[in-house]
């Protein structure tokens, strides 16, 4: 596959890219530009941060930073929310038994899911745990 | 290129770009070097930084944990409003010293 593929429609955009953090930066710039072009009023910092957490997670923990594995990301702007889907080619994880836990300022890891919830994103997974859905309400 | 200045038990690191997964290795190496050299007071100046992701937060937390063991502490200065909010949500303002960026 090509390293970075974009497919854009009226209210949706899909990306597919090889698993690197450099591509995460490119994906975020593309997705924020898509939202900006459509006049979607979300706080850019918040969307940037949460997209980054989801995409970094897919690259690192899902695909093990294996460039031969791709990350797929779809974003759809609906009337009252933005729906983001992030899919990796990894084995998934047992999200049903994962404890998000309390905020521990001394801990160096495990903050991504906490951040998603703290910034008002609803998070769901498929049963395998390799597809994350993020929903952000539009106000 | 990040700027690193060191004098009188105090090192100041000024990252030139955002502290995110794609770029965090530079800051991690710089922090490791100044802490290994025995600096007790480490300052990270975020004047050029507009976002820190959870990987970047992990590096700052790790630096504070290490420098604290040497009897010192981490101070993060010139923090934007958005990053300050992030630090407060994650309660990092209770873990190391945080100073907001002055309004321009």
Establish if B55 touches chain A: CB-CB under 8 angstroms: yes
User: For tokens 């480490």, what's the residue?
Assistant: B42
Residue B45 φ/ψ, nearest 5 degrees: -95, 115
pLDDT in the model for residue A105 = 61
Cβ partners under 8 Å of residue A31, min gap 6: A13, A15, A47, A51, A73, A75
How large is the ipTM?
0.91
Establish if B22 touches chain A: CB-CB under 8 angstroms: yes
DSSP H helical segments within chain B, as ranges? Answer: 24-36, 54-69, 81-89
DSSP H helical segments within B37-78, as ranges? Answer: 54-69
Give one word for B8, left, alpha or beta, with left for phi > 0 and alpha for psi -120 to 50: left
Q: Chain A to chain B, count of Cβ pairs less than 8 Å apart?
A: 61
Strands B73-79 and B10-14: unpaired
Query: Can you tell me the distance from the alpha carbon of B68 to that of A60, in angstroms, rounded to the nearest whole number?
Result: 29
Q: Nearest CA of chain B to the CA of A60: how many Å?
A: 10
Percent of chain A exceeding pLDDT 70 equals 90
Residue A52 to residue B61, Cβ atoms within 8 A: no
**Closest C-alpha to B57, from B30, B103, B89:** B89
Which range among A73-77, A95-99, B45-49, B55-59 shows the weakest confidence by mean pLDDT? A95-99
pLDDT in the model for residue A92 = 84
Confidence band, pLDDT 50/70/90 cuts, at residue A108: low
Suggest the residue from B79, B90, B96 to mutate for an interface test with chain A (most A CBs closer than 10 A). B90
Query: Can you tell me the distance from the alpha carbon of B80 to that of B44, in angstroms, rounded to the nearest whole number?
Result: 13
In chain A, what is the straight-line distance between the N-terminal and C-terminal CA atoms, in Å?
38
Q: B76 to chain A: which residues are within 8 Å by CB?
A: none
In chain B, what is the straight-line distance between the N-terminal and C-terminal CA atoms, in Å?
24
Query: Can you tell me the distance from the alpha carbon of B75 to that of B89, in angstroms, rounded to the nearest whole number?
Result: 18
pLDDT in the model for residue A1 = 55
pLDDT in the model for residue B10 = 87
Establish if B92 touches chain A: CB-CB under 8 angstroms: yes
How many C-beta atoms lie closer than 10 Å to residue B14's C-beta?
Answer: 19
* pLDDT tens digits along A33-70: 999 999 998 999 999 999 999 999 999 999 999 999 99
pLDDT in the model for residue B99 = 97
Find the residue in A nearest to B58 (Cα): A108
Report the side by side order of strands in the sheet with A70-77.
A4-8, A12-18, A70-77, A81-87, A131-137, A121-125
Q: Is the pLDDT of residue A28 over 60?
A: yes
Establish if B69 touches chain A: CB-CB under 8 angstroms: no
Q: B92 to chain A: which residues are within 8 Å by CB?
A: 105
Between residues B17 and B10, which one has the greater pLDDT? B17
Please give the mean pLDDT across all residues of chain A.
90
pLDDT in the model for residue A93 = 75
Residue A115 to residue B91, Cβ atoms within 8 A: no
Percent of chain A exceeding pLDDT 90 equals 79
């Amino acid at each position: 596959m090509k390293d970075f593929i974009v497919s854009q429609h009226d209210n949706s955009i899909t990306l597919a890219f090889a698993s690197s953090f450099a591509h995460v930066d490119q994906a975020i710039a593309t997705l924020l530009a898509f939202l900006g072009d459509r006049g979607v009023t979300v706080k850019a910092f918040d969307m940037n941060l949460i997209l980054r957490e989801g995409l970094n997670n897919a690259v690192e923990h899902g695909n093990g930073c294996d460039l031969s594995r791709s990350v797929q990301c779809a974003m759809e702007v609906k009337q009252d929310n933005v729906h983001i889907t992030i899919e990796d080619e990894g084995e998934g994880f047992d999200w049903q038994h994962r404890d998000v836990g309390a905020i521990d300022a001394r801990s160096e890891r495990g903050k991504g899911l906490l951040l998603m919830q703290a910034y008002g994103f609803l998070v769901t997974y498929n049963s395998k745990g390799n597809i994350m859905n993020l929903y952000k309400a539009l106000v | 290129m990040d700027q690193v200045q060191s004098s009188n038990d105090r090192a100041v690191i000024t990252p030139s770009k955002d502290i995110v997964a794609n770029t965090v290795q530079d800051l991690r190496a710089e922090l490791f070097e100044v802490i290994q050299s025995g600096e007790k007071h480490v300052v990270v100046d975020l004047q050029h930084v507009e976002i820190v992701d959870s990987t970047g937060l992990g590096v700052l937390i790790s630096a504070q944990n290490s420098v604290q063991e040497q009897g010192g502490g981490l101070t993060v200065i010139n923090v934007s409003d958005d990053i300050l909010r992030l630090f407060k949500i994650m309660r990092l303002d209770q873990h190391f010293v945080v100073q907001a960026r002055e309004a321009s």
